[in-house]
Amino acid sequence: MTNLSSSLEDYLEAIFEIAENKGAARPKDIANRLKVKPASVTGALKHLSEKNLVNYAPYDVVTLTATGKRIAKSIAKKHKALLNFFTNVLDIPRGEVEDFACKMEHIIPDHVLERFVEFAEFVDKCPNRGAIWREGAHGYFCTAHGVSQTLCDSCQLDSK
């Protein structure tokens, strides 16, 4: 991944999400979304353009290059996964974790994020919601039954 500041990553993510919702991103939309001044957007777009991550021309819509889109998708995926973990697994209201998830998405390594996702999927699938997820010699197991998640007959019977 191109070495970008958290701020420039936020711009890529904003452009990606605006374009997904509206079909195209305008500098004004980016400024409104990020709550920054138009001059800040112009400066960021110039930097991103120099790095070949966006296609930018004054008074025109902004589009992501293939590389820019790949990076923006990765950032958005991290943000979504972290929000999901905090809200659905830890049951913290979205309003409390939105800013935290945004800050974390810039520093969390992919392999750590994958563990968050795996854990969230485990909790979502396990009908014994009070169980604790632990890693053992044969993969993850449910402390409610002390067996592998995939072999947890008690949970599978409970869910039928």
Q: What is the pLDDT of residues 37-91, one digit of tens each?
A: 999 999 999 999 999 999 999 889 999 999 999 999 999 999 998 998 888 777 7
In a domain, 138, yes or no: yes
In a domain, 149, yes or no: yes
Q: 2 versus 10: which is more confidently predicted?
A: 10
Q: What is the mean pLDDT of residues 132-149?
A: 53
Q: What is the mean pLDDT of residues 26-39?
A: 95
In a domain, 154, yes or no: yes
In a domain, 159, yes or no: yes
Phi, psi of 141 (to 5 degrees): -140, 160
Look up the CATH number of the domain holding residue 15: 1.10.10.10
Distance (Å, whole) CA 23 – CA 39 = 23
In a domain, 38, yes or no: yes
Contact (CB, 8 A) for 69 and 47: no
Residue 150 has pLDDT above 70, yes or no: no
Q: 150 versus 24: which is more confidently predicted?
A: 24
Residue 128 has pLDDT above 70, yes or no: no
How far apart are the two ends of the chain, measured CA to CA in Å?
Answer: 44
Q: What is the mean pLDDT of the chain?
A: 82
Q: What percent of the chain has pLDDT over 90?
A: 46
What is the domain extent for residue 65? 6-72
Residue 145 has pLDDT above 60, yes or no: no
Structural domains of the chain, count: 2
Q: Which residues of 40-62 are buried (b: 16+ CB within 10 A; e: fewer)?
A: bbeebbebbbebebbebeeeebb
Q: How many CB atoms lie within 10 A of CB 98?
A: 14
Q: Which of 46, 72, 98 is the last residue of a domain?
A: 72
In a domain, 152, yes or no: yes
Query: What sign has the CA pseudo-torsion 127, 132, 135, 137?
Result: negative
Residue 142 has pLDDT above 90, yes or no: no
Q: What is the mean pLDDT of residues 134-148?
A: 53
Residue 35 has pLDDT above 50, yes or no: yes
In a domain, 89, yes or no: no
In a domain, 83, yes or no: no
Q: What is the mean pLDDT of residues 13-19?
A: 96
